[in-house]
Amino acid sequence: MVMNVYKLKVIETYDLRECPMCIDPFKPRHGNQKYCYDKCSSKSNLIQQDAAAEKLGFKTRKELRIAKWITCPLCGGRLYLVRSELLWKCGN
C-alpha cells in the first residue's frame, strides 16, 4: 500500500487586504477571508438577501420571509419557492 504524502503550504502572515464593505485595510486570519470583521460580513450578507428578495419581486427580505409562510388558496397547504424557476408551488 502506497501512501500519498501531501505537504501543506503554511503561510504565517497574509498581505494586507481591503475590506469591500468599509474600505479599511485589514490583515486576514486565513487565506479566503474577504471581510475585515463579522459585522462587515453580516452587512454584506443582508445586502445580498435584499437583492435576492428584490429579484423575486419583494421590497425587503422581511416580506420574502413572511411570504414563505403563505398557504395555498386551493388546498390550504404551504407554498414553497422554487428558486431555479422563481415560482411559488404548492406542496400538495
Quick: pLDDT tens for 1-12: 566 666 656 666
Q: Exposed, middle or buried by CB within 10 Å (0-12, 13-18, 19+), for 79?
A: middle
Whether the model pTM is above 0.75: no
Range of the domain at 65: 59-92
Whether 50 and 18 share a structural domain: yes
In a domain, 4, yes or no: no
Whether 70 and 85 share a structural domain: yes
CA distance 16 to 11: 13
Residue 75: the pLDDT is 73
Whether 45 and 78 share a structural domain: no
Whether 50 and 33 share a structural domain: yes
Whether 49 and 65 share a structural domain: no
Quick: pLDDT tens for 10-54: 666 788 999 999 999 998 888 888 999 888 999 999 998 888 888
Gap between the terminal Cα atoms of the chain: 53
CA distance 80 to 78: 7
Angle at 40 between CA 50 and CA 45, to 5 degrees: 25
Residue 49: the pLDDT is 86
In a domain, 6, yes or no: no
Number of domains making up the chain: 2
Whether 37 and 71 share a structural domain: no
Query: Which secondary structure element, helix H or strand E, spans residue 16, and what is its range?
Result: none
